[in-house]
Structure 1
Amino acid sequence: MNNNKNFFANVVTEMKKVSWPTGQETAKYTVIVMLTVIFFLAFFYLVDLGISQIIEFMQ
């Protein structure tokens, strides 16, 4: 039981050292992630269309 108390005390100590992002930073990072996902979605959709057209053309 003593190990559990030490563990949780250490967790609390380490969490106090964490540098949390501000709300504005979180919003900015969220937008960046969403734009990146949309970009790759469009890219792979176009690649898939191209490969499908090539395969269809070869038949």
Structure 2
Amino acid sequence: MTCRSLDLPGPDIAYLARGFACNAVDVKDVEDVEREFVAALRADMPTVVVVPTAAGKAML
């Protein structure tokens, strides 16, 4: 059996997370990731940090 990743055309992950009553933030660079990760740890509710990635060959 082949393991495949989720490959949907442009889902708005932050929007979906907010629909489940979570905080959600989109980050653009390393500084954003660090700042938003620290904020997520301090938040009083679940937080989704959306990090853009480039498509590549699956390692599994």
TM-score normalised by L of structure 1: 0.28
Of Structure 1 and Structure 2, which has the larger fraction of its residues in helix? 1
Q: Which has the larger radius of gyration?
A: 1
Structure having the larger proportion of residues in strand: 2
Q: Normalised by the size of structure 2, how large is the TM-score?
A: 0.28
Higher relative contact order (CA 8 A, sep 6+): 2
